[in-house]
Amino acid sequence: SPCCAGTGPKELQPWLLGLTAVVVFLFIVFVVLLVNRLWQIRMRRWDGDTSCTRLGWVGLAWGGAAGSVRA
One pLDDT digit (tens) per residue for the chain, 71 residues: 566 666 667 777 999 999 999 999 999 999 999 999 999 999 988 887 555 555 555 555 555 555 555 54
Distance CA 62, CA 65 (A): 6
Answering whether pTM is above 0.75, one says no
Determine contact, residues 20/12, Cβ cutoff 8 Å: yes
Instruction: Region of 63 please: left (phi>0), alpha (psi -120 to 50) or beta.
Output: left
CA angle centred on 48, ends 42 and 54, rounded to 5°: 70
